Amino acid sequence: MRKIPVDKVREGMTLARPVYGYDGNVLLNTGMMMKMSYINKLKELDIFELYIDDEISRDIIITDVISDETRFEARLSIKNAMESIRFGNTLDLKPIRNSVGKMIDELLQVKDAVVCLQDIKSKDQYTFFHSVNVCVLSVITGISMNYDQEKLKELAMGAMLHDIGKVSTPRHVLNKPGPLTNEEYSVIKEHAKAGYETLKKSRMLSTYTSYIALTHHERVDGTGYPLGLKGNDIHDFTKIVTIADVYDAMTSDRVYKKRCHISEAVEYLVGMGYHQFDYDMVRRFIEHVTIYPPGTCVNLNTGEKAIVVDVNKKYPNRPIVRIVADRDGQPVKQPAEVDLTRNNNILINEILDDI
């Protein structure tokens, strides 16, 4: 399978993974042949990518680190929690705690988990998708640090709830398609304090967990907000969630900014190690994300086009690729697979939306 923009989907293409609504209901199932009416409806729902199967990618397997059921249950739990607060009701954390428990159980069963599958996000439901992704990435990092179950639960709850304060942020500011004014940016920044004030009232959360909501925009060089904390004054939980938060935000399409590629996000995190982020945490984090996920279409320095087939964990920028088009862009008769760790002269020049 491979992921392509909906704009590149043609009638007759075969869907490789289900497309879900925000509530977990299946909109289109695996194996369905795409029709123009389906494509147009997906665009209306702000879903701009799909996983498809075709001759050049059919045997490429991309698996998620948690089950679809757990991912959607978690997404729905944070959505319901935020809507409950918006309507003035008491925050019920039990559904979130249950979802977090399932997530941790599944991730502990995956040895050296590497995130290869990119979640197909809807811009309208970004906050809920983002909260779950940040939780998954944070737990994987926590596992790499040998956290016990109790610490993983504290970290996971804080990661899931880190943006809970955005409930109080006006929608027109939160979803503004253009640059924010200084006044609007000040309003956005209030979500950190608002989230902490909400969470600290709960007896089900530890102080460390609630503190993540307050401090996830702090930076180790003291340039963050709202407290301007530095270095070791920032708890390790916050340092982990901060990295996961920035990474997922950078690799997601939002109403005001198009996503960047994973390689750019990783390069940014590494470049900001010792400055905005804890370098040791960054190092642990990037061991569990794939710079070129299987199914990614790339242009090589030879002029040929290829699809990433598999990753080399020790050399994440040197995956195994399948060359499917020649220098003139014509399909090759017999696609050849090349392990870039064994071919130093072949480099990936750029990421392609499609071939």
pLDDT of residue 331: 93
Res. 23: pLDDT tops 80: no
CATH fold of the domain at 2-53:
Molybdopterin biosynthesis moea protein, domain 2 (3.90.105)
Per-residue pLDDT, 46:
80
Put the strands of the sheet holding 49-53 in their side by side order.
2-5, 49-53, 14-15
In the block, which residue shows the tokens 């959505």?
Answer: 79
* pLDDT given at position 124: 62
Handedness of CA 328, 333, 338, 344 (dihedral sign): negative
Distance CA 185, CA 175 (A): 12
Of 306, 309, 289, the closest CA to residue 350 belongs to: 306
Task: Report pLDDT for 48.
Answer: 81
Query: What does the pLDDT average to over 300-320?
Result: 92
Model confidence at 21, pLDDT cuts 50, 70, 90, reads confident
Structure tokens at 141: 């990092």
pLDDT digits (tens, 9 = 90+) for 120-174: 766 667 788 899 999 999 999 999 999 999 999 999 999 999 999 999 999 888 8
Which superfamily does CATH assign the domain made up of 68-286 to? Answer: Hypothetical protein af1432 (1.10.3210.10)
Enumerate the domain spans of the chain.
2-53, 68-286, 297-352
pLDDT digits (tens, 9 = 90+) for 189-242: 999 999 999 999 888 899 999 999 999 999 999 999 999 999 999 999 999 999
Question: pLDDT digits over 253-274, tens only?
Answer: 777 678 888 989 999 999 999 8
Binning pLDDT at 50, 70 and 90, where does residue 175 land?
confident
Q: What is the pTM of this model?
A: 0.92
* Percent of the chain residues topping a pLDDT of 90: 67
User: What pLDDT shows up at residue 203?
Assistant: 84
Does residue 62 surpass a pLDDT of 80? yes
